[in-house]
Chains A and B, each alone.
Chain A
Amino acid sequence: MPRPESKTITFTIDGREVSAPENTMLVDAAKLGDVEIPVFCYEPKLGQPVGACRMCLVEIEGIPKLQTGCSTPVKDGMVVYTQSDRVTIAQQAVVEFLLINHPLDCPVCDKGGECPLQDITFGWGGGISRFVEPKRHFVKPLELSPLIAIDRERCILCYRCVRFSQEISEDYQLVLLDRGAHSYVATFDGHPYVAPFSGNIVELCPVGALTSRAYRFRARPWDIESAGSVCTLCPAQCNVAVTVRDERALRVLAREHPEVDDGWLCDKGRFAYQSFHVPERITQPLVRDGGFLRPVSWERALDEASAGLRRAGARAAGVAAGTTTSEEGLLLARLLREGLGSPHLDARRSGTVSTGLARALAAPALQARVSDLEFAHAVLVLDTEPVDDAPILDLRLRKGVRRHRTKLAVASPGATTLAEPATLCVRFAPGAGAAFAVALAAALRGEDHAALARDAGAEADQVAALSDLLRGSESDEAQGPHEVVILWGERLTAGDSADHGAQALLSLADALGLADTDGAGLLEIPAHANGRGLREAGVLPNAGPGYGELAGAAGRDAAGIAAGLAAGELSAVYLLHCDPLRDLPDRQAWGEALASASTVVAHASHLTQGIREHADVVFPAEAYPEKEGTVVHPDGRVQRLRPAIAHPGEVRHEWRVLAELAERAGLELTLHSGAAAAELLYASVPFYAGLTLDEIGGRGVRWQERAAATELGAAAPPAPGPGAASASAGEAAAYRSLWDAPEVEFSPTLEFLFPHPELLADDRAASAELLAPELETAS
């Protein structure tokens, strides 16, 4: 679907000529001429303007009535006045109206100092109010949810929050009740507003009516600094701005990136920062001593880890997950491969895709961008539940359907939260994603797919309907190439059917001509936040950096490592931000594996069960705003983490820890800074060649769009093989939801969303016992 394009026109505003793209709304076009038109209800992210607050009234030559600048598209030759007497009177009138029932309790309001109502009153108000009647007063603040407090006195009824709930997240839980001057924002029958994206309303509120319960009264705007970062709590890697006071994160706000997050955050991304500053956080190295983990000095912890790993040598293995940066992944790979001589490492949850297929799937021409989800003619969500796997993409899919009439199809083993916006929902048997893709590819090629569909546990006519939808109708074809994006989950290539799934994807791409169509392509949601970056850094059993060939034989994948440990064939395992009991499939196998391992080295921020019971050495993990390193977005955007807050306690940069262990194992790295580590990474991955921190900047850069992308090499994909893939039942069920994470569990206002309340008490108690102040002094 063509992206909006427009020619540049010239209009006059307050006497000066300004160039702007045609049909830009006046309030936005005015900014290009350094003219600010005040707004409250206008927020382009929320969709079409509603013109409710009337703050943006302007005078346009030739139109008798004042017009709302938020909804008037600018035209060539338009003459606009924003400071004429008529406009000034109207602006002052609107401010006076808005303040009639506003309590003006700015001295005790969290929004004070960063409040659009304050700013606009100061900038455009008349300075006085003629309203002498009593204002209304009510109980405040009230809980709207465990996360959000509502102060209805302050509300100016701009509609932003309810529009978000109804038109963006489409949860339709937050509404206006009653009408006229009695209207108020509320939920049904006193139910809390709990939905995956609810926190965005706090950021949208232009007054202090909706506030974060975790942030209330923690700081004033002049106490704080803002530091840009990237949330690495899930693969969506939303751009964020961390509010910092006294070197601590006090708040996380969206840092809008149209190619990443569109300016929204999920509640985990917004509120999980609390887990960085809780007593349960591990802030010093721990070593198991006499059966108990005890805090020790860094030197001792490094000694123990180094000794244990060297003892294991080629029988060591490593698993990376969570917030691991690409540099950390690369260093882990080099520690294992070069320092210990072990090829056993993985950053995938399950299964191994052969190198050729992995390269083929990574081919730049096949990669869809996030914005393609919004503008494609059709999107197939295949074996992933975006709201659980990369929540912010759920909003993008809804936006596409709502604003651009994208046809959305969902193929999944269970019910999907996208059923309402979807044109078509198709089910297949749990674990049969690859088999389903094979059947769909057959249908797209016009082959008989009935038996294949049956093998996948899907209805043949539904597969046919999906095929029709993805092909588009003849009238669609008349409008140019039919752009299709397939958003697929890593589980499609899980277990034994990994290669099968990959092949099926490639044949889908082939049948739909994805590689040849701009705006079409594949977009994978990996299981781990930096899954793509880690694979590209070579944290795979069968490939080096940049999907390069290995010198020796391939190693074991994650499941193989578990089996090897349990069988005694492996003896040590390095868990980089991974508690296998939580993060990996087959909890039982991993329980046995960890119990059998002689050395378990872990990087962890919280003492979850696997770490608590099995780790021999625990290095304190950094929270993402403490990190320095590179992460790669699922669409190939290389992004950069820069330290925004200080390390608490004795936490160190983890790349240093890994580099130290690698050097102790005999590597010569001589890395003195995070920048040097990044340089090493960019030099190691051929298609990152020449990347610099400057080039990545604050917005990241997609490596596919750089010249070095050709370094990936064109791997001829193996011919797509027919036949059914084996369904690995139970695999789907083993995927954990976004909320099943220590960051949720240990964030006070967020813990109510943690799906395993029974674990909470154990984890808390263990942490309290182990990390109690008197023990922290031990060494």
Chain B
Amino acid sequence: MSPLGWDTAADLEKPPAEIPSPGEVDVPEGLRAEIEAHMANYPDRRSAALPALAAAQREHGWCSPQAIAQVAAVMRVTPAYLESVASFYDMLETEPVGRHSVYVCTNISCSLRGADALLADFQRAVDGDPEVNVRAFECLGACDIAPMASVDGVYVGPLSSQDIPALLDDVRAGRAVLPERQLARRLVADPHANSTEFPQHPAQGAAHGGANLELPTEDPATARGRREPR
């Protein structure tokens, strides 16, 4: 999509963008089926706008005008309605971006632990790689592994700049990113939560008790271990 915005006039040669008439827009069958399934979940079909746009973004890489027109054709709404929705939400891309996303949390808790420098290093590391979309993101809800990033939807942290090359290698190779640092493997911090020592879960690499909590080495706030149980 041409980067529309404040400075762009409407193209008077174009027709008005109304609800696409049936058959006007070709929609991939899988996408159509997925959107229709979402629409069936709600009393009002418009409720499916977010899941439908997310599906179209997976199909097209971003919410391109073509992607939006396809959703509009299936949902029977105007493309402007969807564009307005898409532009409101951070995870829906209204400009072309790389297929892989790296959201680096730079909100307070992460930035107190060096997220801004991490983001800058990330951006330097992917400079010129059109496939990887590195962007700052607001609080991702993982301040316990600060500083952290969501890599194609997978939370990893704590991260330091030294982790970046390995992480990007994993991304480009299509491997699980930094498996040891994934949030999925982290145990709760509360020492009282788990009354028993559970057998090691196959997915849980680290020892029980939050020992996998690594803070960036350059951060003087680094602290390891956990307090003694009360």
Chain A residues with CB below 8 A from B221, complex form: none
Instruction: Name the contact of B1 in the complex, choosing from A143, A166, A178, A189 (C-beta under 8 A).
Output: A189
Check A142–B16 contact: CB distance below 8 A: no
Question: Which of these, B1, B6, B10, B78, contacts A145 with CB under 8 Å?
Answer: B10
B39 CB to nearest chain A CB (Å): 15
Contact string, A132-149, partner B, CB cutoff 8 A, digits 1/0? Answer: 000000110011111000
Q: How far is the CA of A174 from the CA of B84 in the complex (A)?
A: 9
Which partner residue on chain A sits nearest B88 by CB separation?
Answer: A179
Whether a CB of chain B sits under 8 angstroms from the CB of A204 is no
A144/B83 in contact, CB under 8 A: no
Determine whether the beta carbon of A191 is less than 8 Å from that of B5. no
Asked if B2 and A190 make an inter-chain contact with CB atoms under 8 angstroms apart, the answer reads yes
In the complex, whether A188 has a CB less than 8 A from a CB of chain B is yes
Are B80 and A188 in contact, CB atoms less than 8 angstroms apart? yes
Interface residues of B in 41-95 (CB under 8 A from A): 65, 68, 77-81, 83-84, 87-88
Query: Using Cβ atoms and an 8 Å threshold, which residues of chain A touch B81?
Result: 166, 172, 175
Among A190, A193, A194, A195, contact of B4 (Cβ-Cβ < 8 Å): A190
- Decide if B10 touches A190 in the complex (CB within 8 Å): yes
Question: What is the count of residue pairs linking A and B with beta-carbon distances less than 8 angstroms?
Answer: 93
- Interface contact B80-A187, CB-CB below 8 Å: yes
In the complex, the answer to whether A189 meets B4 with C-beta atoms within 8 Å is: yes
Return chain A residues, CB-CB under 8 Å to B87: 177-179
A176 at the interface (CB under 8 A from B): yes
Given contact pairs A186-B4, A189-B65, A191-B15, A172 touches B10 in the complex (Cβ within 8 A): no
Indicate the size class of the contact surface on chain A: 20 to 34
A178 near B88 (CB under 8 angstroms)? yes
Beta-carbon contact of B68 and A188 below 8 Å: yes
Which residue in A142, A173, A179, A184 is a CB contact (below 8 Å) of B9? A142
Contacts of A188 in B (CB 8 A): 17, 65, 68, 78-80, 83
Interface of A (DSSP majority class): loop
Q: Which of B2, B6, B12, B83 contacts A143 (CB 8 A)?
A: B12
Contact between B8 and A193 (Cβ–Cβ < 8 Å)? no
Q: Which chain B residues lie closer than 8 Å to A145 at the CB level? A: 10, 12
Interface centre among B8, B16, B68, B88 (most CB of A within 10 A): B16
B95 to chain A minimum Cβ distance, whole angstroms, is 12
A152 within 8 A of B: yes
Q: Which residue of B lies closest to A148 (CB)?
A: B10
Q: How far is the CA of A179 from the CA of B65 in the complex (A)?
A: 19
**Contact partners of B9 in chain A: CB under 8 A:** 142-144, 190
Q: Which B residues are in CB contact (< 8 Å) with A173? A: 16-18, 78, 80
Q: Check B11 for interface membership: any CB of A closer than 8 A.
A: yes
Check A138/B12 contact, CB under 8 A, given A171-B78, A172-B78, A173-B78.
Answer: no
Task: Check: B230 CB closer than 8 A to any chain A CB.
Answer: no
| Residues of B with C-beta under 8 A to A193 | 10, 16
Interface residues of A (CB under 8 A from B): 138-139, 142-146, 152, 166, 171-179, 184, 186-195, 752
Listed from nearest, the 9 A-B pairs whose CB atoms lie closest are A175-B84, A142-B9, A191-B17, A194-B16, A188-B80, A192-B10, A188-B17, A172-B78, A188-B79
For the complex with contacts A143-B10, A188-B17, A189-B2, 13 further pairs of A-B residues with Cβ separation under 8 Å are A138-B6, A139-B7, A142-B10, A144-B10, A145-B12, A171-B18, A172-B80, A173-B16, A186-B5, A188-B68, A188-B79, A189-B65, A191-B16
6 CB-based A-B contacts, threshold 8 Å? A138-B7, A143-B10, A173-B80, A188-B80, A188-B83, A189-B17
Binding site for A on B (CB under 8 A): 1-2, 4-12, 14-18, 65, 68, 77-81, 83-84, 87-88
